[in-house]
Amino acid sequence: MLFSCGSSGGEACHRPLALCVAGPQHTMADNKPMMTKTLEVVGVGEVEVRPQLATLTLILTACKQSLEECRASIDKRQPYVHHTLYSNQARREDITEREECHSNVSHIILSVTIMATLPAQFVQPVLSTLTEKLSDAVEVEKVVYHHSWSAVAEGRAVAGRRAALEARRRASEMAAAVGADVGPCLTLFEEACDHLALSDDRSEWCVVETPLRLRHCHAHVPTIIKSRVKASFSLAGALPKITAA
């Protein structure tokens, strides 16, 4: 990490583990020179965000000699599926259904695909209940885990706060090393905020555009949100000795 400041000529100077002191400045109150001492550091903070939502795809199928018989068979199971989903915090607006009908020489095949989004922690209770009560009468085609907007926004905020705290901690350590105390934060801005996810083969972490576009097959695959901030602090106390680069 570098100490930095604006020199009297307006150019930035960087010295490893050194204090940069601006040239003499004069105030209206007196003619004594005033030394401005600042310290610039970078802090990094990160947080793991696990999927909060899951989308279930369930299929109900009936194979009968007539469409009426198929629909009657589906109607016996469909209400129980709905009840189980609603009991586990699925909302009506998050449930969609699609019907498909096929026929051959002697039979009609009717299938109803139900897609429901619900909190990730309720997936296993739903699957256990449906498997116990309906057994093979319902097919679980797939379960996909993903993130919510609110969780990603909260994760970014937490990562940013951790980065800011890390910047102050590093500034305090560096100032103490040269005999000074850290004063108020003068400037703070986020240089980058990356979303890191495991590659498909789970061998390495890579940067992705946004966690919201990720789709995980496992509930425990996290996304790491990493924030990098740059901060400058004023220094108080004894004037540290300036060392050459």
The last residue of one of the domains, among 81, 115, 146, is: 146
64 and 120 within one domain: yes
The reported pLDDT for the residue numbered 197 is 81
Let me know if residue 244 belongs to a domain: no
pLDDT digits (tens, 9 = 90+) for 191-224: 999 988 876 666 677 777 777 766 776 777 788 9
Structure tokens at 182: 């850290």
Please give the average per-residue pLDDT across 178-183, as a whole number. 88
pLDDT of 29 higher than 60: no
Let me know if residue 28 belongs to a domain: yes
pLDDT digits (tens, 9 = 90+) for 82-111: 999 999 999 999 999 999 998 887 899 999
105 and 31 within one domain: no
153 and 221 within one domain: yes
The better pLDDT of the pair 71, 105 is held by 71
- CATH number of domain containing 131: 3.30.70.600
Structure tokens at 47: 């947080």
Q: Which residues pair with 229 in a beta bridge?
A: 43, 190
156 and 35 within one domain: yes
Cβ 6 vs Cβ 47: under 8 Å: no
The reported pLDDT for the residue numbered 16 is 35
Q: What is the mean pLDDT of the chain?
A: 81
74 and 41 within one domain: no
Let me know if residue 243 belongs to a domain: no
- Strand order through the sheet with 20-21: 20-21, 37-49, 223-237, 180-198, 205-208
Which residue segment(s) compose the domain that 25 sits in?
Answer: 2-50+149-237
Cα–Cα distance for residue pair 182/48, rounded to 1 Å: 30
74 and 13 within one domain: no
Q: Which is it for the CA torsion 76, 77, 80, 81, positive or negative? A: negative
Per the structure, how many domains does the chain have? 2
